[in-house]
Chains A and B, each alone.
Chain A
Amino acid sequence: MDQHHTHNTGSRDLRMARSMCWHCQSEMSGEYFCERCVKVQPVSKETDYFTCFGLPRRLTIDLKKLEAKFYEMSRAFHPDFYQNKSETEQTISLGNAATLNTAYRTLRDPIQRAEYLLDLEAGSVKDIRTSPPSDLFEEILELQETVEAYRASDRTSETGRQLLTRLVAERQALDQRKQDMEHHLQQICTDWDALQDRGEATSQARTERDRLLKQMREILSNRTYVKNIVNDLAATIG
């Protein structure tokens, strides 16, 4: 905890002079190491995870490349290599390694990656208001009742067996729905990337951007609702 705290304060102070090496104060031209004194430089808290790995802000990512870059950077920042260095360098390398781990975990997973991009592009989840999917909510609440009835029932009875059959079918349907949502999300991600690649600054492009972000938000939210009830079902019927 203490170490973490030190790092936070440290990088905040250092971030102010990001364009300058914290050690020799020369103008920084290297990415994470000063070209003049070869000291490790902190990854700025302002740096988003895409930039961190030198990737464009796109939702389709070459996972092999990402992994290779992650390993390369992990080696460069690994705290083991800083044991004989100054305390500042140790703190910086530790902080960078931690940031890198979080960045990698986030970008590696397509769902987390999309959530992260939404945060970057549109602020937190709450900033995009989508109308609550009432039909889905009704379905979830109704299903929840069936789950409870099954839990309370004698599982060897006819009623218990009927409830189980129903729940198994529901679970299959929901699994399928979750998959459909993920496919749809993938399509939107492709559309997003294409829009970014075109790089137009027209009002039409802006409308399209907002539409895609909103759709992304909607699917991600609905997927969370479905995922929750599927997990609950799985815990009950195995």
Chain B
Amino acid sequence: MAYSDKVVDHFNNPRNMGSFKKDEDGVGTGMVGAPECGDVMKLQIKVQDDMIVDAKFKTFGCGSAIASSSLATEWLKGKTIEEAQKIKNTDIVQELNLPPVKIHCSVLAEDAIKAALADYQKKADKPEAAR
């Protein structure tokens, strides 16, 4: 099975790899894993005035999982929280041309986005509890 050019590009030049400090103001962290294949994904957003100003990821997994999370961070930047909620795994599948056996990688990326958003919301609702 050959990876699409876009997957290869993200894999070779991952965008926004790295991390923020978890307890930093406005940072939401999503940490997810796929027990079926053992892939692990960490996706973080930095929010200012309801706008995602920066996003970072770290992924341990196959090329498609890395590409999915790399693409997700690209898409997240500049979006509002509400817009970010609307990112679907199928959008990622389409953009990266993922084959059926790799669809779970895009699902993992969507889960990571959701988890990061939820974590941000939780911290925003009661900032003292996040410390």
In this complex, which of B32, B36, B37 has the most chain A Cβ atoms within 10 angstroms of its Cβ? B36
Contact check, A221 vs B40: say whether CB atoms are below 8 A apart: no
Q: Tell me, in angstroms, the Cα distance from A117 to B38 when the chains sit together.
A: 20
Contact check, A137 vs B38: say whether CB atoms are below 8 A apart: no
Using A125-B36, A224-B38, A227-B38 as known contacts, say yes or no to A144 and B31 having CB atoms under 8 A apart.
no
Min CB distance A223 to B, Å, is 9
Q: Tell me, in angstroms, the Cα distance from A173 to B36 when the chains sit together.
A: 23
| CB neighbours of B31 from chain A (8 A) | 132, 134, 137-138
Contact check, B35 vs A137: say whether CB atoms are below 8 A apart: no
Contact check, A224 vs B60: say whether CB atoms are below 8 A apart: no
Chain A interface size, as a band, is: 10 to 19
Which one of B32, B38, B42 contacts A228 once the chains associate, using CB atoms below 8 Å? B38
Min CB distance A115 to B, Å, is 10
B6 contacts A by Cβ under 8 Å: no
| CB neighbours of B60 from chain A (8 A) | 140-141, 144, 228-229, 232
Chain B residue nearest to A218 (CB atoms) is B35
Which one of A132, A144, A225 contacts B38 once the chains associate, using CB atoms below 8 Å? A225
Contact check, B33 vs A221: say whether CB atoms are below 8 A apart: yes
B79 contacts A by Cβ under 8 Å: no
Pick 24 A–B contacts, CB within 8 A, sort by A.
Answer: A125-B35, A132-B31, A133-B33, A134-B31, A140-B40, A140-B60, A141-B40, A141-B58, A141-B60, A144-B60, A217-B35, A220-B35, A221-B33, A221-B35, A224-B35, A224-B36, A224-B37, A224-B38, A225-B33, A225-B35, A225-B40, A228-B60, A229-B38, A229-B60
Q: Which residues of B line the A interface, CB within 8 A?
A: 31-33, 35-40, 42, 58, 60
Q: Which residues of A line the B interface, CB within 8 A?
A: 125, 132-134, 137-138, 140-141, 144-145, 217, 220-221, 224-225, 227-229, 232
Known pairs A140-B40, A224-B38; list 11 more (Cβ under 8 Å). A132-B31, A134-B31, A138-B42, A140-B60, A141-B60, A145-B58, A217-B35, A224-B36, A224-B37, A225-B40, A228-B37
